[in-house]
Amino acid sequence: MIPESHPRYKSLVTREKLAQYTKTGIVSLEGLTAHGRGEAFDYLLGEETTESALRAEKIAAALLLSANHPVISVNGNTAALAAKEIAQLQQASQARVEVNLFHRTEERVQAISDLLQEHGITLVEGAVSRYIPLDHDRGLCHYDGMYSADVVLVPLEDGDRAQALIDLGKKVIAIDLNPLSRTSKVATVPIIDEVTRALVNITGFCTELGQDEITRLTEDIHGTGFIRDALEYIRERLLNVLD
Ligand code: ATP
């Protein structure tokens, strides 16, 4: 039992939740280590959304709303941490949702799909093929899902697939706390923020943005600026940490 008075209460509850989800196969053991890397960067970022990340989240909402065929790709950690937030974003953006796993087994796909559907998410279903040219299972996707997408939101992604999606001509919105990751570097819009915070903000913008603003926000996107901002923010915090 984690006492609510613990100064790291939220983080400990999240860790416990993820550990529980390893028992049902929704989160892989490797997923726990990926979470640890994310936590480390969130610590450096002060565990709150920066102004720069909020701007990226607004652009992400505009991209999803302007897309012909937006898709949200969900892996085990994202499902465990943010099923409710994905459901809300699907409602607000009308994006399709597709399960995509690096450590893929039919049992894991089923367990994650069940969890997402329990939260009211409609999934792209049916057969998958290796439409994304990768020699691991992140390459498997649905024809009606990621293969046909023009904008793909990829929370907690690996760099290989983010690059492959860009090479296929898609716009990629990444959510990754690591500003140095290959994913952040190649994404059209790298959102350097924690996944639940980011999804809530994107959903909020989806309900607010008008057509003129959507057009303006999607005209000229400079992803690397968000990486610079995050690194500068971390640098400032580190320099002032003992003041
Ligand atoms: P690269 O993009 O450089 O190829 P990788 O393939 O090694 O990175 P993964 O192991 O797939 O990356 O890890 C996914 C990323 O997700 C990590 O970089 C980590 O910072 C990030 N991450 C983990 N948990 C969260 C979270 N809750 N919110 C946002 N990002 C997170």
The whole-angstrom separation of Cα 136 and Cα 184 is: 20
What is the predicted pLDDT for the residue at 225? 97
What residue's CA is closest to ligand 1, atom 12? 158
Give the pocket of ligand 1 (CB within 6 Å): 34-35, 37-38, 41, 81, 156, 158-159, 175-178, 181-183, 194-195
Does the structure show a pLDDT above 90 at 1? no
What pLDDT score does 3 carry? 84
Average pLDDT over every residue of 91-116: 95
Task: Output the CA 179–ligand 1 centroid distance in Å.
Answer: 10
User: 175 C-alpha to center of ligand 1: Å?
Assistant: 8
Whether 108 contacts 188, CB under 8 Å: no
Ligand 1 centroid, distance to 119 Cα (angstroms): 24
Mutate to test the pocket of ligand 1, among 21, 81, 156, 195 (most ligand atoms within 8 A of CB): 156
Q: What are phi and psi for residue 170, nearest 5 degrees?
A: -90, 155
User: What is the structure's pLDDT at 58?
Assistant: 98
Q: From the CA of 77, how far away is ligand 1's center (Å)? A: 10
Look at the domain 51-240 and name its fold.
Answer: Rossmann fold (3.40.50)
Biggest CA pair distance of the chain:
57
Q: What is the mean pLDDT of residues 17-40?
A: 96
Q: Which of 15, 27, 43, 178 should be mutated for ligand 1, with most atoms under 8 A from CB?
A: 178
Distance 242 CA to ligand 1 centre (A): 28
Write down the mean pLDDT value for the chain: 95
Residue with tokens 């915070």: 197
What is residue 7's predicted lDDT score, i.e. its pLDDT? 82
CA-to-CA separations, 84 to 40, 89, 96, 156, in angstroms, rounded: 24, 9, 15, 16
Per-domain boundaries in the chain: 51-240
Q: Which ligand 1 atom lies nearest to the CA of residue 181?
A: 3
Distance 210 CA to ligand 1 centre (A): 32
Share of the chain above pLDDT 70, in %: 100
Task: Answer whether residue 231 shows pLDDT above 90.
Answer: yes
Report the predicted TM-score, pTM, of the whole model to 2 decimal places.
Answer: 0.96
From the CA of 222, how far away is ligand 1's center (Å)? 21
Residue 5 has pLDDT above 90, yes or no: no
What is the pLDDT at residue 2? 83
- Of 136-140, 184-188, 213-217, the range with the lowest mean pLDDT is 136-140
Specify the pLDDT at position 166. 96
Please say if the pLDDT value at position 99 is more than 90: yes
pLDDT by residue (tens digit) across 62-95?
999 999 999 999 999 999 999 999 999 999 999 9
Taking only the tens place, the pLDDT of each residue in 33-60 is 999 999 999 999 999 999 999 999 999 9
Note the pLDDT tens digit of each residue in 134-157: 988 889 999 999 999 999 999 998
pLDDT in tens, 167-183: 999 999 999 999 999 99
